[in-house]
Structure 1
Amino acid sequence: MKISRAAKAPLWLLPAVFSPCFIASASAADEQTMVVTATPGTVSELDTPAAVSVVSGEDLRHAAPRVNLSENLGSVPGLQIQNRQNYAQDLQLSMRGFGSRSTYGVRGIRMYVDGIPATMPDGQGYTSNFDLNSIDSVEVLRGPFSALYGNASGGVIDVKTETGAQPPKIEAGTWYGSYGSVRYGLKATGATGDGTQAGDVDYSVSTTRFTTHGYRDHSGARKNLANAKLGVRLDDASKLTLIFNSVDIKANDPGGLSRDEWKENPRQSPRGDQYNTRKSTKQTQAGLRYDRALGENDDISVMAYAGERETVQYQSIPRAPQLNPTHPGGVIDLTRHYQGIDSRWTHRGDLGDVPFSFTTGLNYENLIEKRKGYENFSMVNGAPVFGEKGSLRRDERNLMWNVDPYLQTSWQLTDKLSLDAGVRYSNIWFDSNDHYVTGRNGDDSGEANYHKWLPAGSLKYALTDAWNVYVSAGRGFETPTINELSYRAGGINGLNLDLKPSTSDTVEIGSKTRIGNGLLTAALFQTDTDNEIVTDTSSGGRTTYKNAGKTRRQGVELGLDQQFGDAWKLKAAWTYLNATYRTDVCNGDVNCNGNRMPGIARNMVYASMGYEPETGWYAGGDVRYMSSIMADDENTAKAPSYTTVGLNTGYKVKKGNWMLDVFGRVDNLFDRDYVGSVIVNEGNGRYYEPAPGRNYGVGAAVTYSFE
């Protein structure tokens, strides 16, 4: 990586746990070339020696509902992101197979919003607080260097919201879609000064409300979201940035269907109606980032944040199992307080004729969870009425925290050859105090400690100015989440402390080539994992986990982002991923050695073409193919492959200080009947979460610029 000598302002480092840090910006020399900031200097996406994709906020919002991250992120190779049609359980997201076991939320992937982790210290993550209306860029990192972000980093997603600039703007937008779906929002951005003088201020504020009846029965939802960022230039060498985010969700949970139920009526929700399954979530967080240039060759950055997340979930668990004195009940009541601080120092210099840099720092994260469980029924005239909070059955305090030092260095060995290397020492502690000790329900308190050295390195060689190749390797580490430790199989009470962390070794070979105004990328990789954490049983909204021994992921990723002329855009991605068990993970007489890991598609293809001028008519279409996905370890159930087509068109008109954008779109044009996602190893065979047939949407956004 070439080191910039001219930059004296503080580096906008990705406020994640470790570098390389990928932050999108526009290249002054070539507006069609995506540029990322990586410690220690500024390099193009072409020159980054890792599988990284950058998607702009404008591309995410183009002719889209602006509700789910899955809408326009299909162009990223290696990323499997699916809408469950269930706002109680979040999106289903995995990267190169990491995270595929998740029955709700996101596992195995580190996620950030403006430097604040959307992944908790235990590895449990959520996308519900991502505000698409204010996103500036989404950066997706796969492969060995992901390991340098610490625990649960099978991949990294960094969401960066807009930074206000002159002239000030205000935007109001709305969208109406099938199944009673409505979104409307308001956004204001602006700045005083050009951001280089003391006292200059920039701001970006966005708020959104979304409601839907839902495609399936018992799947209605309401979501309120707010995001704000305020930056203050303290002097010519330092800046302070305040970040705030809040989300409030109430959603019914339609649950999974058996194959027969899916074929009979994909929109039904028999358990949802019977048990009134639902979930409410409130999350508020704030962060403060300080960046300072100590001189031409040194920068420091400190990021501190804190937040609270409250969740209440009603599950579809019958009364009979809950009569067991050790059963924790059918209602989960969680309150999580989390906080952390990440501090780092970056230095650039020369050793002889070899430019080099290093970044070193310390990361601390803390999570305090108060977990209670209640019966999900009350007795009326001798009969249970489900969907009501009953007697207390669980009460505990869980604590998880980590302290991780890290170091990364980069050397430009020759004009064509560069070396990047780094190491992180991840230390994670878990402690649980059981406050519900009564009768046959004993004291289930416990503790655990996990630690691992996480090294990574890469060599990059520039064959030409427009063609780079690289090889990289690294070791990853993933501990059980608190949720995965919370339950043992067989309805036994207490913590699953026999669950071990998994360790993975990855090797990757890549190539990146600039073709005109586009970029063609290719990556070949293999990941071997020991003690893979997989789903053991899943029933009634409750999932238990176990270690699978050894697994292997081998694959190929191809990506193309191309622009023709002034307005034609082409994006394409192909992912081949062969993920298999290398030891027997199944219970009973079935041998699963060699079976495909569930929840992972072997082939994914995406292609989109659009005509997108700055003003006037625009139109485009996309095609998505997903191969079959196994639903269980035995490979006896699977979701069939499918292909869908989407079309969009719209019109942009600019008059004076006003800009109006009106659009319409249709998804699943040919009305395919398919499964959008699966619930891995669901104990009752209710694996399937159906996707909607042909559906429509129209939207509009109006912007006024105070020029």
Structure 2
Amino acid sequence: MPFGRRTDRWRLVASSLLLASGLASAQTLPEREDTAGALAPVLVTGDGAWQRRWLAPGSVEVVDGEELRAGQLQINLSEGLGRVPGLVVRNRQNFAQDLQISVRGFGARAPFGVRGVRLFVDGIPASAPDGQGQAANFPIGSAERIEVIRGPFSVLYGTSAGGVITLYTQDGARPTEWRTGLAGGANGLWRLSTQLSGQTGAAGQPGWSYTLDAGKFATDGERAQSAASRSTGNLKLARSHEGGRTVLVLNRQSSVAQDPLGLTRADFDADPGQTTTAATQFNTRKSVSQTQAGLAWEQALGDGHRIELMGYGGQRQVRQFLAVPTGAQIPAGSGGGVIDLARDYWGLNARWRLDRRYDSGRLTVATGLAADRQTEDRLGYENFVGTTLGVQGNLRRDETNRASTLDPYVQAEWRTDATTLMAGLRHSRVRFSSADRYIVAGNPDDSGEVRFDGFSPVLGVRREITPQLQAFASVGRGLETPTLNEVAYRASGLTGLNPALNASRSQSAEAGLRGRYGWGSWSATLFETRTRDEIVVLSNSGGRSTFQNAGRTRRHGLEVAGLLQWGRLTVTPSFTWMDARYRDGFLTCAGTPCATPTVPVAAGNRMPGLARQQAYLQLAWEPGWAGSVFTFEALHTGRMAVNDRNTEFAAASTVFNLGVRFEQTRGDWTWREFLRVDNLTDRAYAGSVIVNEGNGRYYEPGARRSAYVGVELVRRFR
């Protein structure tokens, strides 16, 4: 499925770069050695992450691990990434469905997990080959940094990469450090975690660096039927050798969570703290266990040449009880109300890189091949036995689904102190197949196969105007394939892969200015994305979602961010304005099955799940006694549509948080304590929305006023 021809619309987007301005917050920070090694999914120039942000011809934001953890519960990414413009991380207060993450509008349609945004941990994908991902296994306690890539350059990470979030864990170093922390608070929430990092061998002859991170948390939940618990473990081993490096990563995650479901508008207005009856009747819940390992190796070959190899593999098991009415499970094609999934997955990435310095600048070229594959055995059962609900009943689905990708890519960069020129090209080939073993009267063999492919080119430039001021611009094209869940059903109501569902194709452009001075830094970015064949919900009821392509959409906006310091006061503001609309009208369905959609969605309607404005402000004051830092945060989210027809909207909201933390050090011991109060004014608001939810239960309430305390003890062994 090749990309379409260049159009007048795309030429208009490209020409708009001449008038645009912006980049994510670029603060003056010391250059650090890169710790990614061969696990980095695409080109790494060898500079520290902080310097790459300043020199990049695209939107890259870096959040330091200590900054991510300071005064936080260290459970969800939503705690520390609010300052990144263009990024939305909403806490559903529902651990059965994970966070709701979107970047410049990509990913907002996901009713669970993460779609349209690629996730990585130490270069190992936390997104499956079909584009479905989860952030629950991000080891925040041992994070060295998180990088957020927005805009055209994210397409170099593969399909369904409207944005990229990648976490790098710390490398162990000398002296050995042991850290343990305990936090707790509202709704019976508690978190216990410990980290150990260090290095074997002698100081003159270091051996393996190691970082071990283990933790557990549990909560009774904000609402009835929302209790959850999760255990995680992450081990990273790294060793440098002459001209190269080897990295081994192992992690394990298991969780059990109840699902309170969303609320209708009437229920939300009456009492946002309630839980719909269906959730308790069917005891909706989900259990997950995942184990994976990754190995990376890189070796210099001389004269600037380097080989990098990375491989990973893992297993994931999911068991979920849904609130599908028993009557909806009677038709022969129903998949039931219980999901039982076992997935095996693996991937490889092999890359050659050339890195040479010349008198006039530095040239870096990389080319490689990435391959990923997943195989999942999916069973479906009725969620009732007789009149007893919420238990496993008769088998209704039995199939093996496979997804594979094969992506060759190339990227080149020429850089001087004043200029960066970067270009890249990736070709993605995605194949889905399904082998159906549940064949009964009224439910024929639904085996099938679909394929998608396309090129993703990108071009960017950075130019220094003064030593304190830079301009940049980039353009690119990408594609987003549907996930296996999205392609699993046809509009007719039958199971079997949907051959009518195409990948969406996007054309993106951004440009801007960024500056850094003695008092801080600032940035401003204009961006635009035009998409054809946007993937949208066709129908969503009876536990079954079908999808279609909706024609053309347009998302354009402005991102502004900064870091300002006056004495002991630090101010961190960010603001995103985005207008996201359907450019073409289309027809959708009101129920399932739906052979012919009849409900109109008008051209010009707002795309659901996307607020027009989002603003963040943090004030941090360090009075200078007992290592204290007082923080005040404000997060404003604008009004957003909850469905394609724009018949309902979640109201705008502003939430305030207040916190204080302390730190004391005596010799090799350090104590840290924090106290925070979230939603200081006890605002009732929709923390997230379930886009196009078939029962009208669109609204997921945000947490009411909540207080938390925590303590951390650090010991260094010299």
Aligned to 2:267, the other structure's residue is in SS state: helix
Q: Within 2, Cα distance between the matches of 1:487 and 1:387? A: 24
TM-score, normalised to structure 1, is: 0.92
1:592-671 equivalent positions in 2, closer than 5 A: 592-612=602-622, 616-671=627-682
* Aligned equivalent of 2:500: 498
Tell me how far 1:615 sits from its aligned partner.
5.3
Q: Which is further off, 547-556 or 489-498?
A: 489-498
Q: Aligned AA for 1:630?
A: A
Task: Return the letter of the residue paired with 2:648.
Answer: A
Mapped to 2, the partners of 1:11 and 1:360 lie a distance apart of: 21
Shift of 1:290: 0.6
Higher relative contact order (CA 8 A, sep 6+): 2
Question: Which structure 1 residue ranges, 5 or more long, are not aligned?
Answer: 1-6, 26-34, 37-42
What is the deviation of 1:298?
A: 2.0
Q: Is this contact kept in 1: 2:132–2:483, CA < 8 A?
A: yes
1:242 paired residue among 248, 260, 285: 248
Distance 1:399 1:589 in 2: 33
Task: Name which of structure 1's ranges 343-352 and 293-302 shifts more when overlaid on structure 2.
Answer: 343-352
Secondary structure, counterpart of 2:280 in structure 1:
helix
Q: Which residue identity lines up with residue 406 of structure 1 in the other structure? A: Y
Shift of 1:190: 0.8
* Aligned partner (choices 399, 403, 412) of residue 402 of structure 2: 399
Aligned residues: 676
In structure 2, give the amino acid aligned to 1:313: Q
Task: From the superposition, tell whether residues 227 and 351 of structure 1 become closer, same or farther in structure 2 (CA, over 3 Å).
Answer: closer
The residue identity in structure 2 corresponding to 1:258 is T
Alignment of 1:93-492 (within 5 A): 93-192=101-200, 197=205, 200-233=207-240, 235-269=241-275, 270-295=277-302, 297-349=304-356, 353=360, 355-379=362-386, 384-412=387-415, 416-489=418-491, 491-492=493-494
Q: Give the aligned residue type for 1:373.
A: G
1:10, 1:299 within 8 Å by CA — same for their partners in 2?
A: no
Q: Does 1:15 align with 2:16?
A: no
Whole-angstrom CA distance in 2 between matches of 1:145 and 1:14: 19
SS at match of 2:662: strand
The one-letter code matched in structure 2 to 1:142 is R
Match of 1:4 in 2: none
Closer, same or farther in 2 for the Cα pair 1:153/1:194, shift >3 Å? farther
Provide Cα deviations, 1:417-462, integer angstroms capped at 9, x if missing partner. Answer: 3311010111111111111111111000001111111100012111
Note the alpha carbon deviations across 1:513-556, whole angstroms, 9 max, x for none: 11225321111111100111112233355432211110000011
Q: Structure 2 vs 1, CA of residues 700 and 132 (structure 1 numbering), >3 Å: closer, same or farther? A: same
Q: What secondary structure does 2:311 align onto?
A: strand
State the SS of the aligned residue for 1:128: coil
Q: For residues 20-59 of structure 1, what are the structure 2 equivalents within 5 Å?
A: 21=44, 25=48, 35-36=49-50, 43-59=51-67
Relative to structure 1, the CA distance from residue 609 to residue 353 in structure 2 (aligned partners, 3 Å threshold; closer, same or farther) is: closer
Output the CA distance in 1 between the equivalents of 2:630 and 2:345: 44
Q: Give the 3 Å change call, closer, same or farther, for CA 691–150 of structure 1 in structure 2.
A: same
The answer (yes or no) to whether the contact 2:328–2:542 under 8 Å persists in 1 is no
CA contact (8 A) 2:586 2:600 kept: no
Shift of 1:589: 5.0
Unmatched runs of 5 consecutive residues or more in structure 2: 1-30, 589-597
- Contact persistence 1:257–1:689 (CA under 8 A): yes
Show the counterpart of 2:5: none
Q: How far off is 1:638 after superposition?
A: 1.0
What letter matches 1:601 in structure 2?
Answer: A
Query: Cα distance 1:195–1:135, how it changes in 2: closer, same or farther (>3 A)?
Result: farther
Aligned to 2:511: 509
Change (3 A) 1:223 1:174: same
- Report the Cα offset of residue 464 of structure 1: 0.9
State the secondary structure of the residue aligned to 1:122. coil
Amino acid in structure 1 at the alignment position of 2:380: G
Is the partner of 1:89 in helix, strand or coil? coil
Partners of 2:687 and 2:652 lie apart in 1 by 10
Question: Per the alignment, do residues 44 and 479 of structure 1 end up closer, same or farther by CA in structure 2, a change over 3 Å counting?
Answer: closer
What CA distance in whole angstroms lies between the structure 1 residues aligned with 2:154 and 2:346? Answer: 22
How much does 1:465 deviate? 1.2
**Identity, % of aligned positions:** 41
2:261 partner amino acid: G
CA offsets 1:49-71 (integer angstroms, 9 cap, x no match):
11111001111111111111101
- SS at structure 2 position matched to 1:554: strand
Distance across 2 between alignment mates of 1:531 and 1:17: 28
Residue by residue over 1:490-519, the C-alpha shift from the partner in whole angstroms, topping out at 9 and shown as x without a partner, is: 643322221110110001112111122532
Residue number in structure 2 paired with 1:39: none
Cα pair 2:337 2:382 within 8 Å, conserved: yes
Q: Which structure 2 residues correspond to residues 557-568 of structure 1 after superposition, within 5 A?
A: 557-565=559-567, 567-568=568-569
Q: Is the 8 A contact 1:429 1:450 kept in 2?
A: yes
d(CA) in 2 for partners of 1:540, 1:125: 24
- What TM-score does the superposition give when structure 2 sets the normalisation length? 0.91
| Matched letter for residue 641 of structure 1 | A
User: What value does the CA root-mean-square deviation take over the aligned residues?
Assistant: 2.0
